[in-house]
Amino acid sequence: MVAAGVVACGSEGISNEISSQPENVQHGAQLFSERCAGCHTLGVAGTQGTTNNVRERERTDGPNFNTRHESMDNVLYAIRNGGFSGAIMPENIVVGQDADDVAAFLSKYAGGGG
């Protein structure tokens, strides 16, 4: 018998602050935590996928959203096109309403200092 577990690498849990937000923002936070935590940092989402040490940086490290603000349009562009450079991020990691919810969440919280 083999036991299997699901672990979200680089995730510490979503801030209680999110629970007072509209449902789409809460859902976007959950999706971000589940699907983006391994590559992106955002304190309110409890994710730490970006290194601050240039010598430890990996090719898959995404932007640190504690310091980088993004508009809803920019987030949707990145989701649809695999980031801005198209090099690493999987295209359409979320789609439809899920993509809109992640964009609503990120555009509200990215750049807030974590």
Answer yes or no: is 36 within a domain: yes
Answer yes or no: is 92 within a domain: yes
Query: Whole domain around residue 27: which residue ranges?
Result: 16-51+64-109
Answer yes or no: is 104 within a domain: yes
Answer yes or no: is 3 within a domain: no
Average pLDDT over residues 25-45: 93
Answer yes or no: is 114 within a domain: no
pLDDT of residue 3: 38
Indicate the number of domains in the chain. Answer: 1
At 44-72, the pLDDT tens digits run 999 988 767 667 777 777 888 999 999 99
Give percent of the chain above pLDDT 70: 81
pTM: predicted TM-score of the whole model, two decimal places? 0.82
Q: What is the CATH number of the domain that holds 100?
A: 1.10.760.10
pLDDT of residue 71: 96
Sort 50 into a burial class: Cβ within 10 Å, 0-12 / 13-18 / 19+.
buried
Pairwise CA distance, residues 95 & 97, whole Å: 6
DSSP code per residue over 20-52: GS-HHHHHHHHHHHHHTTTT-EEGGGTEE-S-S
CB-based contact 62:40 (threshold 8 Å)? yes
Average pLDDT over residues 76-97: 86
